[in-house]
Amino acid sequence: MAGSRRKSPGITPDILLRAYSIGLFPMAESADDPEIFWVEPELRGVLPLGDFHISKSLAKRVRRKPFEIRFDHDFDQVIAACAEETSGRPSTWINQTIRSLYSTLFEIGHAHTVEAWEGDQLVGGLYGVSLGSAFFGESMFSRRTDASKICLVYLVDRLREKGFTLLDTQFTTEHLKTFGAIDVPKAEYALLLASAMESPHLEF
């Protein structure tokens, strides 16, 4: 993992928001490790809202509306699903401390979800943190084909509609690059973040 890491002996929701505002985010070594460390990558993943693109097949699937999309409906269930161990993700960095902190951020309007539902079943989703005009994507999960991808499409539409200027993905992956995600050097990211922090906190 490129970038600096700093151990954090204690953390509150206010400290967490302050960390985001200066380019840090927390992770844990594993779900069973109660400690948290701060991460500041040398290259930051960013998904430019003006250059977001999806494949023709995904666009067609979105138009078919295979899922009911809900916003901020069941945060605890979303973060629990993101923390689950799966065959493709045998370990997780989301420990109980992180789950508790982000649940509090949700309660005070700084953490949000986009959720895909089939009837009464949650089948995909994502969550992240909003601050100023920035949205910091944290994690996503999918229990049905394209469920998390469709949630991402709805997230971008929502952020554009509300006037957000920065969608931070922390790191880039081959999956995110297909949507237009890029690596931004730390100094350049700091300028993007500072500009987003000058904005009043936007409603999600």
Q: How far is CA 83 from CA 79, 98, 105, 128, 198, in A?
A: 6, 10, 17, 14, 32
Residue with the bigger pLDDT between 33 and 122: it is 122
* Model pTM score: 0.92
Residue 145: CB atoms within 10 Å: 12
In this prediction, residue 7 carries a pLDDT of 47
pLDDT tens figures, 124-168: 999 999 999 999 999 999 999 999 999 999 999 999 999 999 999
pLDDT above 70 covers a percentage of the chain that reads: 93
pLDDT in tens, 47-62: 999 999 999 999 999 9
Per-residue pLDDT tens digits for 70-115: 999 999 999 999 998 776 665 678 889 899 999 999 999 999 999 9
